[in-house]
């Protein structure tokens, strides 16, 4: 029998939370559970347990006892029986996930540490897998995780944490990596699903909807040679309609909870925008006025959107370009030049709007500048291709040249 | 086996053998051919068992130094940012000999430019120091 790693890792939050609630040290419990997981992968193929959760809890506890015994052997030889038999978990699995996410997304941790610790302690990934996902040596990731655990150790873990931080960390996991051996996007979706079992917060649902509605388009995002395909050229039949349907359903359930005092937050709004793109049968049928109206809500969430959420203002500029015309869209990007005028995305959006206006030479120059500033190879190559495509088009339409 | 870095430069180095315009001014098919060549080089090195790593660097550069006690780090773009040496990226290879490193560097330099002509770009070949021998 092959071990279903997904099912195995789904047990992690419950087992770990059980150990920590019983008074075990988070750091030591997490290490012990990692060892138990490796043991499970070794033993279960031949001897599948009747109660996988109980098996993991027992083995992890034994590891904890072993570790503690060797530590205190110098002083005493007893003190082992109290941990032999873990009491059954008295709380729901969803609460465990939330509890652990609050531990791992502690505000005292840097984002990179929050992400790494979440993937290990809640996601059940090995240090090696996390290191691979972020292209750093395993020793570096091991050090990052153990430092993070040391930071969290002294903190009280029974306080309700900050859900906004948890959502941000999960979204960071989602956006960080779609390549490599570990599919972090799928992992983020799995964790956000678990989070939604624990909380009815509309923004948690909004985040899950956003992930699903974007993830649905992933199969069409790259061509067979690994080149980026822009939204307007994607083969929409390759979009995952099941994920779109679920994303829309989750989003609707979140929006249904809104009140005048509690309007939709950023994740619900971004999910609504993604849903409108997903809903269009072709690029031409995209409901840009509706998208623009959601962007208006998105930028209204902060007092100074140009400085506080420039990405939203930039996205809105594209929508303005499609609704009110490219010149209006370009004027919107002008407002951002001092904030993100150095970034490749700013040039890329301007390239798009200049092309929309039929100004192919200026568009090509903007895309060329964007490619020079890109920090991702796939995006760099894509932006360079946009530039050469537009220069070639400009050459065959000499009348358009200034 | 010795390891070498094959460095490509955005600028700097000996005078160019041919003059090649920036890539965004090439014909689309020439750009595709060049990108295909780069993929091919990495695959070939891997198949040969000579590949250690490859990285590309963005052209943005900042020089920085310690500012002194209680002072912020001092940064600058450099005295002559237009003419100073600027590395674009590298291959790290593990090969039998210096001659093999030169052979591979020359191959990298033969990548196609506009019109499919070789670019003849200068490649900077640097040997990597090995670990000090252990005591035993």
**pLDDT digit string (tens) for chain A, length 402 residues:** 677 887 888 888 888 888 887 778 788 888 889 889 988 988 898 888 888 889 999 999 888 888 877 766 655 544 444 433 444 444 455 577 788 888 888 888 888 899 999 999 888 888 888 888 888 889 999 999 999 988 887 665 555 568 888 999 999 889 876 555 568 888 899 999 988 988 889 999 999 999 999 999 999 999 998 899 999 999 999 999 999 999 999 999 999 998 888 899 999 999 999 999 999 999 999 999 999 999 999 999 999 999 999 999 999 999 999 999 999 999 999 999 999 988 999 999 999 999 999 999 999 999 999 999 998 899 999 999 999 999 999 988 765 544
The total domain count for chain A is 1
Q: Which residues of B touch A375 (CB under 8 A)?
A: 58
- List beta partners, residue B93: B4, B51
Domain-located, residue B134: no
Domain-located, residue B43: yes
Residue B69 contacts A where some CB pair is shorter than 8 Å:
no
Range of the domain at A48: 5-83
Domain-located, residue A28: yes
Among candidate residues A205, A274, A212, A267, the one with its CA nearest the CA of residue A240: A212
- The pLDDT value given to residue A398: 63
Q: Which residues of A touch B62 (CB under 8 A)?
A: none
- The pLDDT value given to residue A158: 53
The total domain count for chain B is 1
| pTM as predicted | 0.83
Question: Distance, in angstroms, between B68 CA and closest chain A CA?
Answer: 27
Range of the domain at B25: 3-127
What's the whole-number average pLDDT of chain B? 91
Question: Distance, in angstroms, between A390 CA and closest chain B CA?
Answer: 9
Domain-located, residue A78: yes
- The pLDDT value given to residue A234: 97
User: What is the C-alpha to C-alpha distance for residues A170 and A128, in angstroms, rounded to an integer?
Assistant: 20
User: What ipTM, to 2 d.p.?
Assistant: 0.87
pLDDT band at B136 (very low <50, low <70, confident <90, very high): low
Domain-located, residue A267: no
Question: Distance, in angstroms, between A130 CA and closest chain B CA?
Answer: 20
Domain-located, residue A49: yes
Domain-located, residue B63: yes
Residue B59 contacts A where some CB pair is shorter than 8 Å:
yes
- The answer to whether the CB atoms of B26 and A374 lie below 8 A apart is no
Domain-located, residue B135: no
Residue B62 contacts A where some CB pair is shorter than 8 Å:
no
CATH label of the domain that carries residue B21: 3.30.70.1060
Radius of gyration of the CA atoms of chain B, in A: 18
Residues in CB range of B123: below 8 A, 6 or more apart? B6, B7, B8, B105, B106, B108, B109
pLDDT in tens, B9-41: 988 888 888 889 999 999 999 999 999 999 999
- The answer to whether the CB atoms of B24 and A384 lie below 8 A apart is yes
């Amino acid at each position: 029998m092959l071990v279903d790693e997904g099912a195995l890792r789904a047990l992690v939050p419950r087992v770990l939370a059980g150990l920590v609630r019983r008074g075990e040290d988070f750091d030591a419990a997490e290490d012990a559970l990692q060892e138990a997981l490796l043991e499970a992968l070794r033993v279960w193929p031949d001897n599948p347990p009747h109660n996988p959760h109980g098996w993991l809890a027992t083995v992890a506890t034994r590891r904890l006892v072993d570790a503690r015994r060797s530590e205190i052997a110098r002083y005493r030889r007893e003190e082992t029986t109290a941990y032999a038999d873990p009491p059954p978990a008295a709380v729901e699995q969803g609460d465990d996930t939330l509890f652990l996410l609050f531990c791992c997304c502690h505000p005292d941790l840097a984002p990179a540490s929050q992400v790494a610790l979440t993937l290990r302690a809640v996601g059940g990934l090995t240090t090696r897998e996390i290191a691979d996902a972020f292209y750093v040596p395993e020793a570096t990731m091991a050090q990052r995780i153990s430092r993070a655990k040391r930071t969290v150790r002294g903190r009280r873990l029974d306080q309700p944490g900050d859900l906004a931080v948890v959502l941000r960390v999960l979204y960071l996991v989602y956006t960080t990596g779609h390549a490599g051996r570990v599919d972090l996007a799928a992992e983020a979706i799995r964790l956000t699903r678990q989070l939604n079992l624990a909380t009815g917060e509309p923004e948690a649902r909004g985040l899950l909807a956003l992930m699903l509605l974007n993830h649905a388009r992933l199969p069409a995002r790259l061509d067979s040679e690994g080149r980026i395909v822009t939204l307007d050229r994607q083969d929409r039949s390759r979009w995952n309609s099941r994920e779109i349907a679920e994303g829309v359903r989750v989003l609707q359930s979140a929006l249904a909870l809104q009140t005048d005092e509690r309007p939709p937050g950023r994740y619900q709004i971004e999910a609504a925008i993604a849903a409108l793109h997903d809903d269009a049968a072709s690029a031409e049928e995209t409901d840009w006025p509706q998208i623009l109206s959601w962007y208006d809500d998105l930028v209204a969430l902060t007092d100074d959107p140009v400085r506080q959420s420039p990405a939203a203002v930039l996205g809105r500029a594209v929508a303005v370009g499609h609704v009110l015309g490219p010149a209006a869209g370009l004027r919107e990007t002008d407002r951002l030049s001092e904030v993100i005028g150095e970034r490749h995305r700013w040039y890329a959006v301007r390239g798009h709007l200049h092309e929309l206006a039929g100004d192919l030479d200026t568009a090509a120059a903007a895309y060329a500048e964007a490619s020079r500033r890109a920090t991702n190879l796939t995006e760099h190559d894509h932006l360079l291709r946009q530039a050469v495509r537009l220069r070639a088009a400009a050459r065959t339409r000499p009348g358009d040249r200034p | 086996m010795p390891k070498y870095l094959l460095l490509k430069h955005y600028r700097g180095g000996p005078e160019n053998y041919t003059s090649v315009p920036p890539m965004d001014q090439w014909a689309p098919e020439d750009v595709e051919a060049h990108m295909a060549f780069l993929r091919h080089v990495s695959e070939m090195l891997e198949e040969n068992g000579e590949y250690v790593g490859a990285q590309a660097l963005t052209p943005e550069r900042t020089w920085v130094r310690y500012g002194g006690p209680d002072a912020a780090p001092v940064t600058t773009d450099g005295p002559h940012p237009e003419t100073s040496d600027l590395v674009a990226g590298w291959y790290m290879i593990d090969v039998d000999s210096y001659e093999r490193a030169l052979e591979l560097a020359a191959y990298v330099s033969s990548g196609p430019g506009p019109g499919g002509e070789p670019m003849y770009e200068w490649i900077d070949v640097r040997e990597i120091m090995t670990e000090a021998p252990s005591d035993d």
